[in-house]
Amino acid sequence: MMASSINFISTRGNTPATAIDDALIAGLAPDGGLYVPEHIPAFEGEWSPAMTLAETATRVLAPYFAGSRLRDTLPALCARAYDFEAPLVAMRGDGDSLLELFHGPTAAFKDYAARFLAESLAALHSSKHGAPGRTLSTPDITTILVATSGDTGAAVAGAFHLRPGFEVVILYPDARVSPRQAHGLECWGDNVRTFRVTGSFDDCQRMAKTALSDRDLRGRMALTSANSISLGRLLPQVAYYAHTALGFHALHGEAINLIVPTGNLGNAAAAFVAKAMGLPIGEIVLATNANDVLPRYFAGGDYAPEATKATLANAMDVGAPSNFERLRHWHGDDAALRAAVSAHTVDDATIRATIATAAERHGIVPCPHTACGLHVLEQLRAQGDSRPWTVVATAHPAKFDSIVEPLVGHSVDVPPALAACLARPAHGETLAADDAPLRERLLSR
């Protein structure tokens, strides 16, 4: 039986129910809220441990795409987007494991969603051009505007680089990312423009939001976002949680417990969706850096966004986690949300100590973000928790060599895809942290 199609509504409640293709193209809902599915479907596909991540992804995403023009091409699209696995690797001691999400082209978990988004927007773009009444010469270019604290921009740039019909504009905070992250943001050129903004990530995010809600600008160009607020980032991330949880359950007969390093709550929100789809996920624990808005909220305080603090785990330097709105929407009220999740903050000194001792204690070398998750595992153990836990490894340590190598006392091998990116020349430009100069650059393509 064919499932009926799922529409998408806004967390703010002032957007009509929208079909998936339109929600993907729009990114942000017109009322300023975030798109969420009208209901979360149960995972019903057959599954076997012999399946690849791409095959699991097709099954997980099928109910959401039942009403999409991409429904029939979904398997091919997933095969291209998820062409690297997400291995679950045993760590030393107590049955714990590491979910390695860093085997993609820019060595961070954001590659999965960025590649899926690029594949789906490109397919929607060409199906639109193939529609009756449109000429193939229609010169429309979609501009993807991305504010990034480090890894999103590189993943989105890599996924859209040289794709006809798309241009990528990246805003990143100058001097707040690691040298290798900066190179990963600037190494593209062609249809990718990278701006080093003389301000913080919050400035970049505000500039992007202003541009995206500028009606005049949007009347003059097709502008969309690819930030973690975008539906096309959220849904594809559900796939690796589903695949991992099903594999874990097949092996151990138990639900998997996850510790997720968290900034904007995009990755963790996908874990929630996977659990809500009925996949075998037990507890979800969040690990933040010194930006502790979420830990304070989950401990019973108000939700009080703050200015971002710069930390060693810079891709989690977020003072106002944008996907919080989705979590609150799904849980109804604060009490239900607090009962479902806990969150712990990890400061820079602890990140350093955790990286320095991780080889001995866990048999791995973590990036600073993953180290936050590892420390939360160590805290749980210290409190007498004996359940097996899986820490989500969000980036490869070689991307943060300037932090990691002095602490571990040896060099970290660079994965081949990252090495290729580091070998290309850089193309960045400096931009003031103001709305007007960005507007001017957007219009001057």
Ligand X SMILES: *Cc1c(COP(=O)(O)O)cnc(C)c1O
Residues at the site binding ligand X, with contacts judged by CB under 6 A: 108, 110, 151, 228, 261-268, 315-316, 369, 394-395
Taking the complex as a whole, how short is the minimal distance between the CB of residue 242 and ligand X, in angstroms?
A: 17
Residue 110 vs 163, nearer CB to ligand X:
110
Taking the complex as a whole, how short is the minimal distance between the CB of residue 286 and ligand X, in angstroms?
A: 8
Residue 78 vs 108, nearer CB to ligand X:
108
Residue 15 vs 178, nearer CB to ligand X:
178
Q: Cα–Cα distance between 7 and 21 in angstroms, integer?
A: 10
List, in sequence order, every residue forming a beta bridge with 186; answer none if it has no partner.
none
What amino acid is encoded at 305 in this protein?
P
Residue 165 vs 319, nearer CB to ligand X:
319
Query: Is the separation of the CB atoms in 161 and 191 below 8 Å?
Result: yes
Taking the complex as a whole, how short is the minimal distance between the CB of residue 169 and ligand X, in angstroms?
A: 19
CA distances from 372 to 258, 286, 303, 343 (A): 13, 9, 21, 11
**In b/e form, how buried is each residue of 189-224, taking b as 16+ CB within 10 angstroms?**
bebbbbbbbebbbbbbbbbbbebbebeebeeebebb
Q: Cα–Cα distance between 37 and 130 in angstroms, integer?
A: 28
DSSP 184-251: HHHS--TTEEEEEEES-HHHHHHHHHHHHT-HHHHHHSEEEE-STTSHHHHHHHHHHHHHHHHHHHHH
Q: Cα–Cα distance between 370 and 399 in angstroms, integer?
A: 12
Q: Cα–Cα distance between 374 and 362 in angstroms, integer?
A: 9
Residue 266 vs 428, nearer CB to ligand X:
266
- Number of Cα atoms under 13 Å in the Cβ half of residue 363: 10
Residue 107 vs 124, nearer CB to ligand X:
107
Q: Cα–Cα distance between 146 and 227 in angstroms, integer?
A: 6
Taking the complex as a whole, how short is the minimal distance between the CB of residue 238 and ligand X, in angstroms?
A: 13
Residue 221 vs 412, nearer CB to ligand X:
412
Taking the complex as a whole, how short is the minimal distance between the CB of residue 222 and ligand X, in angstroms?
A: 26
Taking the complex as a whole, how short is the minimal distance between the CB of residue 407 and ligand X, in angstroms?
A: 17
Taking the complex as a whole, how short is the minimal distance between the CB of residue 110 and ligand X, in angstroms?
A: 6
